A and B are shown apart, each in its own frame.
Chain A
């Protein structure tokens, strides 16, 4: 990776004094992850450019000399880390220009506080599709920004753009300030850190951002991303910034804590977040849960199995219903079940509550004796995650083998998608949705299933009903025919 800094204030070579690097020398600095070279491609009275060139050793990073997490720092040898500006560059910068960053210049102390016309150039900066964020980070700090998106592959124009830009920042600032901006903001832009983030990172952020971070309009995002989404640290950072500057409204911290809550790396969580993002203004999820709770209460059931329970949102509400004596949540994702166990605080429940609930790992297309014998089964926003031609197996597993008295199924109403402004026409609400049905399609499916397996079925809307396209979510409530009995 590569960074150049150019000074055009004569005598431009003063840059050498400020950085403690002689323009005629080439110097090497060993780093834990490679080696940094410093040299000057140009150095005269009018213009002086220093280049920090960092060789990252990808082999060591993959093979993980002595690092803790998951063996190496990188999962892949084929990796942009040796090339794109990132926390590696930040660390190199902190090490190579340590003195300048701390604002010392023994020989020419008068230079330290003198703003100079400086240009920083980074040929490869990760900026995934949000060039606006680059502007939002650097513009408030007074820089003129030039950005050029790198092509992904000239041979395949239909692959689109690369996630990188070449970035040039120009401004009249002190060298120390420019370095501190880069030191903090490069990892923020890259949104990945190659090392473990702990309390000392918080101290670094506050030290290097002391002069400017508190006044930065994006300070919440900077703190979160710098601290790698460690929420507790990010909150502490913001709290401590407020001490520095009193007029920051309290709501900022609130927003920071709530807007991007469920930030886990699990696929299930991201599904939830994305779906929620599409449907958020209507608080559809809450409506859905309340509708299902009301149906179950009305049906007078005592035992419920939640198929595809995910991270346990419905379960946690069902657990509060005292009339339910036995609850089982089943999901195919082990990770989702772990999150559910956390959400439900399974280990901390009093024994009498704990014995009412159980989480099971299982697939919906396999017959499973453990889900037989329940009064009710719920499949909330689940069927659309199955391939349509695997639905037949699910139907038999649920309606023929498990055969609960009541079955509640909800699924998106695709007609309603026209009401989601963010959703391009024809696109489903989530990438993992294999289908989304119209009301007619859902009802014809429900009628067919009910007829085959001996259930009665009715359909109910969930959420605000649009007069033309119907509700955002549709629900089918199946009730087992009494004459058919409990046996398939």
Chain B
């Protein structure tokens, strides 16, 4: 006997003890696919025959079966299953996961079972047991289909059992191997003329010279109809003719819509209510031949509920489909795919109120659907409704996949009066997505999370770090809609062996040389506070793109996502000046964008770090200065008395000078701010604008753009000084070192060395995107006033960079991923996941001085 089972199903073996179920399942299924009640009894009781463990054993069996079906894997239940009440929970599990239950019944003679059991010493139960089981089995046979088994196979002889072959059948909806490209077309409702124009615009050729028609595309694109081909419109038969031709030739796919189903019922003579434009279809088809109508019935009846394309990345269903239903095949799935889900209430037009399944959609597949007419197609949680009401005078919309572009053909006229006027998908000034994004769900960021940025490996966020990030986000962060990026941490170069130096450019250059980088860009490191600037052309542009109302044309935020300014007026002025500079430099036109994200340093340091300065830096300066000066005097006095104080005097003189150098070091980065004229903003990365993340540009390009921008407002914007060095050229490297020495001797913080490419190493993560090399005096702020003493330096040189570098890379990958997702207009939770991840990683314990 040939047994055909769906590739994803719950196979229930039914038969008395000793009928050969286990042998059968060993022969036809993987050991991991089979869940046997005996095995589960063993798990809980160390004895496969311990009947007292039966209840617990079945709990486990049901649990495993559920888990397998949930993850899309076939499960075979090897238990006697002879009573309806044993099978009931199994059918329920199959239903819960939208899989079909299959019954394979072993209706073998009692003798066979008895003989087999007799050979097994562990099965010493009496003959009545098998007799009872067989009795139950026979009583069950007729009701199996009613119990919900969609496939029932009965094996009545051992020879029949031995001869079985099993074929696993892919589900009709499984077109994962089909990768397109596709054009998914919304509800047509008999609008043949508009369909023709749309297909024409999409580049299809329709040959109507013969029967059947022939639809083709020079680039072998395939058309996918979301259903509701029929009713209401003027030319349902032609639409069907075209769709049938495309589907039959393999150049197209079509899923079933509720109107299609109802029409097929009507054509088959079933009693249906003639409404919602069905009359038009029946009238138009009445003029066609009997043969054509028969073909239509066959076509409509053969339509499947939904398709899963392109390795599971694209799902098409008429009314949409929940993630857990993708690729499943139950009646419930078909019902949902055709009608969606309604609350049971009706609106003021008498139409059913639909629950918005897309609001909760978290699946990875793009879901294209129709069914609910809206004025314009709008992305929402990676789903899109393509029913733009062509028949009601709207337009016919196609989604180009994988391009994710929309092409719409306006209706020639209103073919049918809508019950409810066409309305935009979103009601307010915000898009549906922006409206939903006002509220992030804790479940989308808390706990252990694994983020998959396109660069490097996946990043695991540990729960305790996520908890720390949640605290910072909730208490201090700006509106998460602004936070499309957080900057990564940066590792220093290896320590230098050069006397008196902890960090030196030679190591930074050497690091990249060893990594195989040819050219580096060395940028002056500004000593202020990190500031990410998100800026739009005006407040309206900010609202349109970021979905934030009444918060101005942009924001300046810190590396932890906190609003940089407490003085809103100062921030407003800064953004206004920057926007003018962007206008003067012609950036808006040149980059065809009305918003930008810039990575910057904002000076002075004392603006943001005042508390730190007064509590720590200036305090230590005051204490060290007073104490060391006094010590130096006292030692001098003792020396004057002729006491041999040895090295102490010289040592304390040097320490006193170090203390002064420390104070000088922090003072350079402090000045009072009374107006915007006291601020300096140094942009060093042009991160993103509409449709672009500039990580594909070199740092040389970055510098060129930003110098151009800085020139537009030299009073506010600081052009970052930089040098380019070919690492094979010793003179060039020496020039960089001299430049750095000069910079840092004048009090500069130091420099950042970056490989020419923004993303080094093709994003594999072995090469740091940047390393810093800080000046000798600047480092006093980090390592204390007197760190340059050789006895301190020799110990400070031992520092491990591995942890810092791994962190820097993961944060770099997450930061860029956030921008990529934002630019691709993904839901905020997907952007926030990355930003949240950077913040969480920042709570990792790493030496804060690196």
Contact = CB atoms under 8 A, between A and B. Distances in A.
B541 interface: no
B475 A123 contact: no
B630 A123 contact: yes
Contacts of A362: 442, 446, 470
Contact of B796 (A41, A59, A389, A390): A59
B603 to A, nearest CB: 16
Contacts of B780: 78
Given A41-B635, A332-B475, A79 B620 contact: yes
A60 B644 CA distance: 29
B621 A153 contact: yes
A152 B643 contact: no
B31 interface: no
A40 B643 contact: yes
Contact of A160 (B446, B614, B623, B627): B614
A43 B641 contact: yes
Interface stretch (B124-132, B212-220, B692-700, B781-789): B781-789
Interface in B666-699: 667, 670, 672
Contacts of A393: 438-440
B637 interface: yes
A39 B667 contact: no
A163 B626 CA distance: 13
A1 B622 contact: no
A163 B619 contact: yes
Interface string A147-183: 0001111011011101110100000000000000000
A430 interface: no
Nearest to A164: B623
A77 interface: yes
Contacts of A363: 442, 470-471, 473-475
Contacts of A60: 795
A159 B618 contact: yes
Q: Interface on chain B toward A: helix, strand, loop, or mixed SS?
A: helix
Contacts of A409: none
Interface in A352-375: 361-370
Interface string A32-51: 00000101111100000001
Contact of A53 (B479, B634, B787): B634
Contacts of A42: 637, 641
A397 B627 contact: no
A39 B634 CA distance: 9
A368 B442 contact: yes
A401 B644 CA distance: 79
Interface stretch (A80-88, A239-247, A414-422): A80-88
Given A363-B470, A389-B479, A84 B787 contact: no
Interface string A42-81: 1100000001010000111001000000000000111110
B622 A152 contact: yes
B663 interface: yes
A4 interface: yes
A248 B485 CA distance: 63
A26 interface: yes
Interface string A251-268: 000000000000000000
Contact of B626 (A37, A78, A164): A164
Nearest to A80: B623
B781 A78 contact: yes
Contacts of B613: 159
Contact of A39 (B445, B467, B645): B645
Most buried by A among B438, B470, B633, B644: B470
B637 A41 contact: yes
Nearest to A70: B845
B670 A156 contact: yes
B616 interface: yes
B849 interface: yes
B664 to A, nearest CB: 10
B635 A84 contact: no
A366 B440 contact: yes
A366 B638 contact: no
Contacts of B646: 26
Contact of B470 (A1, A41, A158, A332): A332
B441 interface: yes
B645 A78 contact: no
The interface size bin for chain B is 35 or more
A283 interface: no
Contacts of B667: 153, 155-156
**Residue of B474, B478, B787 with highest tally of chain A CB at under 10 A:** B474
B374 to A, nearest CB: 22
B792 A59 contact: yes
A1 B626 CA distance: 10
Given A1-B627, A78-B784, A150-B622, A365 B474 contact: yes
A83 B613 CA distance: 17
Contacts of A333: 471
Interface in A13-45: 24-26, 37, 39-43
B439 A78 contact: no
A53 B622 contact: no
Interface in B440-498: 440-443, 445-446, 467-468, 470-471, 473-475, 478-479
Nearest to A361: B467
Interface in A335-389: 361-370, 385, 387, 389
A80 B620 contact: yes
Contacts of B468: 334
Contacts of B616: 76, 78
Contacts of A153: 618, 621-622, 663, 667
Nearest to B672: A158
Contacts of A367: 439-442
Contacts of B620: 78-80, 83
B623 A162 contact: yes
Contact of B638 (A2, A40, A77, A78): A40
A151 to B, nearest CB: 7
A423 interface: no
Contacts of B323: none
Given A79-B620, A152-B619, A397 B439 contact: yes
B634 A51 contact: yes
Contact of A150 (B475, B626, B635, B637): B626
B644 A26 contact: yes
Nearest to A77: B784
A406 interface: no
A369 B628 CA distance: 60
A124 interface: yes
B551 interface: yes
Contact of B641 (A41, A59, A397): A41
Contacts of B529: none
Contacts of A2: 627, 630-631, 634
B624 interface: yes
B721 interface: no
Contacts of B610: 159
A370 B621 CA distance: 51
A392 interface: yes
Nearest to B610: A159
A390 B479 contact: yes
B712 to A, nearest CB: 30
A403 interface: no
B204 interface: no
Given A153-B663, A159-B618, 12 more contacts: A2-B630, A37-B648, A39-B643, A39-B645, A77-B783, A156-B618, A159-B614, A367-B440, A389-B551, A390-B479, A393-B440, A396-B438
Interface of A: 1-2, 4, 24-26, 37, 39-43, 51, 53, 58-60, 63, 76-80, 82-84, 123-124, 150-153, 155-156, 158-160, 162-164, 166, 332-334, 361-370, 385, 387, 389-390, 392-393, 396-397, 401
Top 4 closest pairs, chain A to chain B, by CB? A363-B474, A41-B637, A77-B784, A83-B623
13 contacts: A39-B634, A41-B638, A43-B641, A53-B648, A59-B792, A78-B782, A152-B619, A159-B618, A162-B623, A332-B471, A361-B470, A365-B474, A369-B442
